């Protein structure tokens, strides 16, 4: 991966601020979530590989929403990384440092966002070439206070807290030094998706935008 691509991704995500993390029990629900989120104004999507046929969903929106930043999440194997790259993903995210994924991302020329839960892991991920380090699970790691402590000793490392981040805690994470935020279930309600009711998702997106732009 070229440093130019990493810099471009960091700049785009810093401007976007919120990355919806889509984790659904079916591809059809994931497609519905993506459509609702894009219609509500979201400019980035992370499709997790825990969703069945995630690579097909990535391919669909990489093609139909070329201006959006489509990434792959919960990438835990090189095969998933290769599938995501082939589908058109523009970045890869892992909950930890998955064996072989960093190398597969580099071979595909894609920025890699591995997860970390301790200061040593944050330092190691950055030293290994991460474009951004994902703090996961952010709430259980200590929330905004933990992030602020990490930034105080590693001010140069861009961080994306994910896991328990909500519209209500978004501003606190940004104030603590987050580059951007990963939001999953707090933003994308699976019950609302199953009920085909976009209202809760639109309301959560509006709260998230209000928080990060305040």
pLDDT string in tens for the chain (214-residue length):
568 999 999 999 999 999 999 999 999 999 999 999 999 999 999 999 999 999 999 999 999 999 999 999 999 999 999 999 999 999 999 999 989 999 999 999 999 999 999 999 999 999 999 999 999 999 999 999 999 999 999 999 999 999 999 999 999 999 999 999 999 999 999 999 999 999 999 999 999 999 999 8
Which helix (H) or strand (E) is 7 found in, with range? Answer: helix 3-16
- What is the reported pTM? 0.96
Q: How many domains does the chain have?
A: 1
What distance, in Å, lies between the first and last C-alpha atoms of the chain?
A: 34
C-alpha–C-alpha distance, residues 194 and 143, integer Å: 30
Q: Which residues are designated catalytic?
A: 46, 134
DSSP string, 132-155: SEEETTHHHHTHHHHHHHHHHH-T
Domain that holds residue 121: 3-212
**pLDDT tens track for 26-71:** 999 999 999 999 999 999 999 999 999 999 999 999 999 999 999 9
CATH code: domain of residue 46: 3.20.20.70
């Amino acid at each position: 991966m070229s440093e130019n691509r990493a810099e471009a991704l960091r700049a785009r995500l810093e401007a976007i601020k919120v990355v919806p993390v889509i984790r659904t029990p079916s591809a059809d629900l994931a497609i519905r979530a993506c459509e609702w989120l894009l219609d509500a104004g979201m400019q980035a999507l992370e499709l997790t590989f825990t969703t069945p046929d995630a690579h097909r969903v990535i391919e669909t929106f990489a093609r139909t929403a070329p201006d959006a930043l489509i990434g792959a999440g919960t990438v835990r194997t090189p095969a998933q990384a290769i599938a995501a790259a082939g589908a058109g993903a523009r970045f890869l995210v892992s909950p930890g440092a998955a064996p072989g994924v960093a190398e597969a991302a580099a071979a595909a020329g894609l920025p890699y966002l591995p997860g970390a839960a301790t200061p040593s892991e944050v330092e190691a991920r950055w030293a290994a070439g991460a474009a951004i380090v994902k703090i996961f699970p952010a709430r259980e790691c200590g929330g905004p206070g933990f992030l602020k402590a990490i930034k105080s000793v590693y001010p140069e490392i861009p961080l994306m807290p994910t896991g328990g981040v909500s519209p209500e805690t978004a501003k606190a994470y940004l104030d603590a030094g987050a580059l951007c935020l990963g939001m999953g279930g707090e933003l994308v309600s699976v019950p609302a998706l199953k009920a085909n009711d976009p209202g809760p998702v639109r309301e959560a997106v509006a709260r998230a935008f209000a928080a990060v732009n305040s």
